[in-house]
Amino acid sequence: MGTITSSTGLRVLSSLSLVIAAAWSVTANAGGIMLYEVGQEGAGLSNAGAAVLATDPSVLMSNPAGISELEGTQINASGQLVIGHIKFSGDSNSDFTGNNGGNALDYLPGASFFISHQIDDKSSIGFGMYGNFGLAVKYDDDWAGRYFTQNAAVIGLSLEPVYSYKVDEKLSLGIGPRIMYGFYRTEAAVDNNVLGLGGGRSDGQLEYEDTDIGIGINMGALYHLNERIDVGLAYTSKVDLEFEDRPSFENINNPLLNTALQTANINSLELAMQVPQTLLLSSSYILDQQWKLLASLGWQDWSQFGDIGVEVEADSGTVSTGVDRKYKDTWHASVGAQYQASRQLRWSMGMGYDSSMVEDADRTADNPAAEAWRFSGGLNYAVDDSLDLHMAYTLVWLGDMDLSQSKSRSGDTLSGSYDSSALHILGGGAVWRF
């Protein structure tokens, strides 16, 4: 047992790379959902009417054509706080020892900035900086699922300059590149009690971190059907992000694992991800002087995100594998309403639904995804003609999520459930008009 063959070493490294790949898909989304709670009006509407509601520059995130509706120069600065309740509870069918991991998603702050400028009666330009893609999870280091993941973060910051052109009084078109800065980090425990060596060895540690920049495109159209009805259609292309760095291994005291790592001499590990392309159709209907009704229907291409490529380059050979996370496309539907209570005060309310990106049987600890229901409320207060203040709250209900995830080689299973899972999203900010 003092030696190890090259093929065995590569199988070990392949298994270790799968650990990273599993952690990779952790929370590029909040349990399989996108974050719509960025900006102003949409945060209190559960994304209802997001592609038509052009009351401030944040509309360019959903539909760049919307800034054609804004006069002069306008600035929107907002912040939000995501507070999660995602707690795992193991059951008697679990083969792993350790605690339940605590609250996997405690809180995550965020901010956004948007500006628009009307060049003339036909043309407008704008710029947005926001993050609607990315969350982070952190379990206790010694939790039962530590060999799948301990903590991981995926953060995507989008920079988006846009141009909008008003074709006529009814139709506006908008387009702009979406430049995304992506950051990824993961940590997972490495079991030193493998390959026939027991003795209660303490866990080793794997760490991986890298950044990348990807480019996509946002485009959209806004059409005034009549005095009461507006329709908006927007498309966001995929953004490719590729992370490539040397993983770090610490405290590997299993001699066979150590030999395998040293023999293979990992130079890099590549992880490729596609931020999904999306399609959003929205409409609004002015019921009377006080009430406006809104709705949205959206599609998100998560099935492409799920095919994660992993490549391990080593001096002794190359191992390539594809990890199919079995993700599927998701659908979003939302309805909402706005009530103009007075000249200064406007209330917003909305409800939305997002389908799950995974079947129940394919749920994993690194991404406890499920269908999600949204319930939102918000208010906008016009201090004067040049300044609006806004705030909003959204409950994202994920409910109970069963988990039964097994290791591919040993068959050992992590079993339990995430009960009463939810996200609470608080947001607020201001809009200045010049």
Q: How many CB atoms lie within 10 A of CB 41?
A: 28
Q: What are phi and psi of 251, to 5 degrees?
A: 55, 40
Q: Tokens in use for 228?
A: 């009461």
Question: Would you state the pLDDT for residue 352?
Answer: 95
Q: How many CB atoms lie within 10 A of CB 113?
A: 16
294 and 266 Cβ atoms separated by less than 8 Å: no
Q: Tokens in use for 394?
A: 């959204």
β-strand partners of 88: 418
Question: Would you state the pLDDT for residue 425?
Answer: 92
Counting Cβ atoms within 10 Å, is residue 224 exposed (0-12), middle (13-18) or buried (19+)? middle
Q: Which residue has the tokens 């049987």?
A: 361
β-strand partners of 293: 285, 337
With vertex at residue 270, the alpha carbon angle to CA 265 and CA 276, rounded to the nearest 5 degrees, is 165
Question: Would you state the pLDDT for residue 264?
Answer: 58
pTM: 0.86
Q: Distance between CA 364 and CA 402 in Å, rounded? A: 9
Cβ-based neighbours of 30, under 8 Å, separated by 6 or more: 82, 84, 105, 135, 372, 396, 423
Q: Which H/E stretch holds residue 49?
A: none
Q: Distance between CA 239 and CA 275 in Å, rounded? A: 5
Q: How many CB atoms lie within 10 A of CB 266?
A: 17
395 and 46 Cβ atoms separated by less than 8 Å: no
260 and 8 Cβ atoms separated by less than 8 Å: yes
Question: Would you state the pLDDT for residue 99?
Answer: 94
C-alpha Rg value of the chain to the nearest Å: 24
Output the tens digit of pLDDT for each of the chain's 434 residues: 333 343 434 344 434 443 433 333 333 344 445 677 776 677 899 999 999 999 999 999 999 999 999 999 999 999 988 899 999 999 999 988 899 999 998 788 889 999 999 999 999 999 999 987 777 788 999 999 998 888 888 888 999 999 999 999 999 999 999 999 998 888 888 888 766 565 678 888 888 888 999 999 999 999 999 999 999 999 999 999 888 887 888 888 877 777 766 665 566 677 778 888 999 999 999 999 999 999 999 999 988 775 554 333 333 333 333 456 778 899 999 999 999 999 999 999 999 999 998 888 888 887 788 899 999 999 999 999 999 999 999 999 999 999 888 876 667 889 999 999 999 999 999 999 99
Question: Would you state the pLDDT for residue 8?
Answer: 39
Question: Would you state the pLDDT for residue 409?
Answer: 64
Question: Would you state the pLDDT for residue 324?
Answer: 61
Question: Would you state the pLDDT for residue 261?
Answer: 67
Q: Tokens in use for 305?
A: 């995100």
Cβ-based neighbours of 196, under 8 Å, separated by 6 or more: 1, 256
161 and 126 Cβ atoms separated by less than 8 Å: yes
With vertex at residue 70, the alpha carbon angle to CA 69 and CA 73, rounded to the nearest 5 degrees, is 160
Q: Distance between CA 369 and CA 324 in Å, rounded? A: 15
β-strand partners of 354: 332, 372
Question: Would you state the pLDDT for residue 207?
Answer: 86
Cβ-based neighbours of 7, under 8 Å, separated by 6 or more: none
User: Helix, strand or coil for residue 261?
Assistant: helix
Q: Distance between CA 91 and CA 178 in Å, rounded? A: 44
Question: Would you state the pLDDT for residue 201?
Answer: 80
One-letter amino acid at 306 equals G
CATH architecture for residues 6-433: Beta Barrel (2.40)
- The full DSSP string for 85-139 is E-BEEE-TT----SB--SBS--EEEEEEEEEEEE-SSSEEEEEEEEEEEEEEEE-
